[in-house]
């Protein structure tokens, strides 16, 4: 029997569980060797000391006897009151059940001490296993007194015609009810409709700009008499390099890496790698793929930095490597210290920390440097259709709604509305006990998110240029990445409205790690927004005559 690693409510999650007695009820257990992802997820599995032999039924077989002290009884009462459940695995199939029950009318607490296991098989393969508690065999824990408990288990074998290849379908379908499918389907349809509307709006803007450019290109007298205003009068400044170009290039490099990483994760999810209860597979893939894609960050950042005329490539490469990993490392160190103080399974063993450090040192860092060397030697030049004036043009005073923060709020609100439904299910999976299997719908919404971010950033860039504001570089990145800020704000709503989490540890874990995730989304979507704005600006200014 495994120790507790979950709960029925969205109030606890596996990494929050402590390693103290009495919840590990067996005295003789053997720790199971875990993968990197399982350790990162906070799983600490132990092998059961009682046998379950194929097709051999057992009836009320004793597992062990345990004497619960007054303190143990109080702890059990607390977890029974909060609906904690145990979780075990047999042949990689999950088994779970509640620890006990509460008679609310009489305010009595009962501990289940007899587990009934029903195992379904097809020929020589195990297909399904279910668990239920014998309500006739319970131990009352209402009073604060020592209690002797004998834990028992019963095994029954039943034949089924379900093939072995479909034995995981049950766990996927349990969260694929028609009501949930309709919600995801409507979310995907709404995302596609938003893409079409924004694409039509941007196409109308481009059509007007093209007609305007053709009009002045064909009528030279009109072009000579007409004074340049709006976006046309800043053609000498629109491609002036931004401030803090080393940081800007590092943001683009990290954002490109995270975008590539996300696409690879979706590919693995769509081919079925992350099937239900493939423990730790997602976290393992994240660690490995992040290390392998470090070369993309180095190449993108250094290549773009050199295009902007940068000379200190070493500093730029160091900044790129630390831009996302630095905050993540600081957050991890703080939260791991908190987990150690609370003796929780979320505290990583020293061996796991050494393994992650070696992966970063021997894989991620060399690939980052290699990508930087290739990017520096690529000798690519920045393609600007207009020459940059020697002296910068003064930006006229802007109304409040054209400032950076209001523009970021506008740019991030619509993409966030499109993904809000999926965010709820993802949060319920990460911070609760739900299983997320709607990868196809999520992929559609992810593509819609990228397109909507690109379109709305390009549109806002046009409005900015029309106001003769040529400092669009950082603005486009901040507007594109502002959705990440909305995602982090949603964490507060989910924490207070959807969960019953409490205490310093749970609060710090949720807001700490979600800050890193939101920052990653900010970098990724900011890169998408900037690239869309760059393509838009090149297209617009490439179609006009500039003296």
Predicted pLDDT of residue 28: 58
Mean pLDDT value across residues 295-309: 94
Average pLDDT, the chain: 83
Q: HEC profile for 56-114?
A: CCEEEEEEEEEEECHHHHHHHHHHHHCCEEEEEEECCEEEEEECEEEECCCCEEEEECE
d(C-alpha 90, C-alpha 93), whole Å = 5
DSSP 3-state of 176:
coil
Mean pLDDT value across residues 32-57: 79
Predicted pLDDT of residue 395: 83
pTM: 0.85
The helix (H) or strand (E) run that includes residue 140 is: strand 138-140
d(C-alpha 261, C-alpha 282), whole Å = 12
d(C-alpha 30, C-alpha 37), whole Å = 20
d(C-alpha 293, C-alpha 256), whole Å = 9
Beta carbons of 7 and 506 less than 8 angstroms apart: no
Mean pLDDT value across residues 341-363: 90
Beta strand pairing status for 147-159 and 114-122? parallel
Question: Please, which pLDDT band fits residue 20 given cuts at 50, 70 and 90?
Answer: very low
Predicted pLDDT of residue 110: 92
Residues in the chain: 547
Spatial CB neighbours of 318, under 8 Å, sequence gap ≥ 6 = none
pLDDT digits (tens, 9 = 90+) for 116-131: 999 999 988 999 998 8
Spatial CB neighbours of 119, under 8 Å, sequence gap ≥ 6 = 52, 90, 126, 128, 129, 155, 156, 157, 158
Beta carbons of 131 and 316 less than 8 angstroms apart: no
DSSP 280: T
Predicted pLDDT of residue 547: 45
Predicted pLDDT of residue 24: 54
DSSP 393: P
Predicted pLDDT of residue 18: 44
pLDDT digits (tens, 9 = 90+) for 370-417: 999 999 998 778 888 888 887 888 888 888 888 899 999 989 998 898
Question: Please, which pLDDT band fits residue 482 given cuts at 50, 70 and 90?
Answer: very high
CA 402 to chain centre: 31
Predicted pLDDT of residue 21: 43
Which of 75-79, 126-130, 166-170, 535-539 is the least confident region?
166-170
d(C-alpha 114, C-alpha 132), whole Å = 9
Predicted pLDDT of residue 173: 63
Tell me which of 355 and 219 has the higher pLDDT: 355
């Amino acid at each position: 029997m495994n120790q507790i690693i979950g709960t029925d409510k969205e109030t606890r999650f596996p990494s929050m569980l402590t390693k103290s007695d009495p919840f590990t009820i067996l005295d003789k257990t053997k720790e199971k060797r875990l993968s990197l992802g399982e350790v990162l997820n906070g799983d600490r599995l132990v092998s059961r000391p009682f046998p379950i032999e194929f097709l051999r039924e057992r009836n009320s077989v004793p597992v062990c006897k345990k004497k619960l002290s007054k303190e143990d009884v109080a702890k059990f009462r607390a977890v029974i009151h909060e609906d904690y459940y145990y979780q075990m695995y047999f042949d990689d199939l999950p088994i779970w059940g509640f620890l006990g029950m509460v008679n609310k009318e009489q305010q009595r607490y009962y501990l289940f001490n007899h587990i009934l296991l029903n195992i379904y098989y097809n020929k020589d393969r195990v297909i399904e296993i279910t668990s239920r508690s014998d309500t006739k065999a319970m131990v009352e824990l209402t009073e604060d007194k020592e209690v002797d408990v004998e834990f028992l288990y019963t095994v029954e074998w039943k034949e089924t015609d379900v093939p072995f290849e479909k034995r995981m379908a049950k766990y996927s379908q349990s969260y694929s009810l028609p009501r949930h499918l309709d919600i995801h389907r409507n979310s995907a349809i709404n995302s596609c409709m938003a893409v079409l509307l924004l694409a039509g709006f941007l196409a109308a803007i481009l059509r007007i700009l093209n007609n305007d450019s053709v009009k002045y290109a064909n009528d030279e007298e009109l072009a000579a008499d007409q004074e340049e205003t709006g976006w046309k009068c800043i053609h000498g400044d629109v491609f002036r390099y931004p401030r803090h170009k080393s940081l800007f290039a590092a943001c683009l490099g990290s954002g490109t890496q995270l975008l590539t990483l996300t696409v690879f994760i979706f590919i693995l999810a769509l081919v079925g790698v992350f099937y239900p209860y493939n423990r730790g597979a997602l976290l393992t893939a994240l660690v490995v793929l992040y290390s392998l894609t470090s070369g993309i960050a180095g190449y993108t950042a250094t290549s773009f930095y050199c295009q902007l005329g940068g000379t200190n490539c070493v500093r730029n490469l160091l900044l790129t490597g630390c831009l996302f990993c630095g905050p993540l490392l600081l957050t991890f160190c703080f939260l791991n210290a908190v987990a150690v103080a609370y003796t929780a399974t979320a505290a990583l063993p020293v061996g796991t920390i050494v393994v992650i450090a070696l992966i970063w040192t021997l894989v991620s860092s060399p690939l980052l440097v290699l990508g930087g060397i290739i990017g520096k030697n690529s000798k690519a030049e920045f393609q600007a259709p207009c020459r940059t004036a020697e002296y910068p043009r003064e930006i006229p005073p802007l109304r409040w709604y054209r400032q950076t923060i209001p523009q970021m709020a506008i740019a991030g609100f619509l993409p966030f509305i499109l993904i809000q439904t999926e965010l709820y299910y993802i949060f319920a999976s990460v911070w609760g006990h739900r299983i997320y299997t709607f990868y196809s719908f999520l992929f559609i919404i992810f593509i819609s998110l990228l397109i909507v971010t690109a379109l709305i950033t390009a549109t806002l860039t046009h409005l900015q240029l029309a106001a003769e504001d040529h400092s669009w570089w950082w603005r486009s990145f901040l507007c594109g990445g502002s959705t990440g800020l909305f995602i982090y704000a949603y964490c507060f709503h989910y924490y207070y409205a959807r969960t019953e989490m409490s205490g310093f540890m749970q609060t710090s874990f949720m807001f700490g790690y979600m800050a890193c995730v939101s920052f990653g989304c900010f970098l990724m979507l900011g890169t998408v927004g900037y690239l869309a704005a760059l393509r838009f600006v090149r297209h617009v200014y490439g179609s006009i005559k500039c003296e």
